[in-house]
Structure 1
């Protein structure tokens, strides 16, 4: 059976999303070993991942404005070919300089790949399918993260040629398999509202501000927990391997929950889901900080992944609904920008807590964060997804 054109485009984009997240954390699971191989410090290997959020903060808005002015196919082609070239750059010489240059090239492309999610759904899908078109690449993001932690220790860091081969094949597929946008002529015709006017419209919308503030807190919480999970569980006698399994449970649960959220969303408003996600995470957080049972902790990870990650596609769609098609790329990019800012802020806030081992205080901080999320959620949109 022939794949419908819109799902052909979506499958290519989902693959790009997954591979971008994989490349972001390509070296994180084997930091010490890779540092020894290249003759650099562990912090130098950490910088291979750190350049991604740093460049995203600088480039998200300009790239979002650009996304609103070019065809989806053009954005996909630039993303795919650029990622393949970035993978090849890492292989020019077996040195840290070329490794870093390749990661820098990937990081420059990340805002383009992330920001395209909303515009692709608007251009290629009717309203009834846009939530599904947002769910699939959202799930792909977390599949890529999970693959980095599961696959890299198995294939090692000497298989960069495999990355280049996969990305090269995907670039060719994108170039020859992705058709012209179905509404390219309509989108290109006529004057466009300026991006400044679009930004002012967003910033004057109470719903838009509530949604991005909620995501600032939610993404901050998720990244803080993910970053410091091993340290949190260590004081309860849990080893690093078990902590990794708990983190994997969070990711897998989140991916599955995104796939199942559509029928739930049709029965509940987004506001109810946002409140439930925030309030439901409070009890799970207390269990996570106090239990010494691997089974209980894995179950907590499953619940936490579902509550934190499942609403993500709904939030993206709600953000874009406040701006319309003309500024979908800008809105999505601003959404991710605020989320990255939340992650950076709360990881930094918990760093002295982790150094001092004051995790009872850390637990209290995160619960306050969730309470604030719940209060913000009260101002979320009531409308059920179409």
Structure 2
């Protein structure tokens, strides 16, 4: 038994001393297949561009990236996390969906592996444990801003219909935030419709909602089901304002809802119009790699997730904090360094609270404006707002 225990310890990558000056490995588990790949492809692009950009910068410790498909479900995210941890990564980026994070993050927490979430906005993600953080601001901070913009445009709004995907952790969390924001503005939904992520025919819930003559529709869903819902709302005659949540915060919705995307309002944690050196760089390298396309929030957050880990590693190595230590100790020190830093990212200046929650003070409301083809468009900035560190 003692021999078996010794052998088990010897094969644990966390117990091995890091070779001096050898590259450190970061792991990324992203949704590259399944419905959530509309986000995962943006994230792969953002992380890949960040890796190329920072690789060309002076380094105290080289960094390698290992990418695994976390797909769009919890078992796949768990498998990707386990595989990357066994391979000896010093930290993880991902998974793509909040629902996946609630399943996979506890694995990293138990093994002491830092996690930076690039797109998990549901309440409670950093609170999973001391090794969990995110660069994606939680929905409670930014979602109400789009409600305010809709009411600014139509102050007489009294009748609101709410749709949300009831089988998705992000959507159920966000709809509660939206409905709380509506209540604070003395608006009670005249219709609340529960959908499923796999739904593609929304005629029944839309018909039920439209019977209540809503002036505003508020949607919490993912990109595919949410995009189809928007299109079908318009096709069935709804002409009022539509506010959507973070699940539709990707240019990949354009070919789904097509010309019916036009006019949709959405609160964002990123604006391509932010005029800072790092965001200008991000926009330029993104456009060069994507035939002039303008980047969206998901790609910017993925870049930022890689950036904060890369910069924390360089600072830690510069002080000798990675010399002669085990991988397990390096992970612990990296998490401490990550939380202590301040970062100038495409999202703007950010840092972390002690519990791993991102602190970001500037947010935006954008309106989708489709081009004449009805197949492409852009998120056009209509409002920006600085928030105090404590939130709204």
Question: What TM-score range do you get, normalising by the shorter chain?
Answer: under 0.3
Larger Rg: 2
Comparing both chains, which one has the higher relative contact order based on Cα–Cα distances under 8 Å and sequence gaps of 6 or more?
1
Instruction: Normalising by structure 2, report the TM-score.
Output: 0.26
Q: Which has the higher helix share?
A: 1
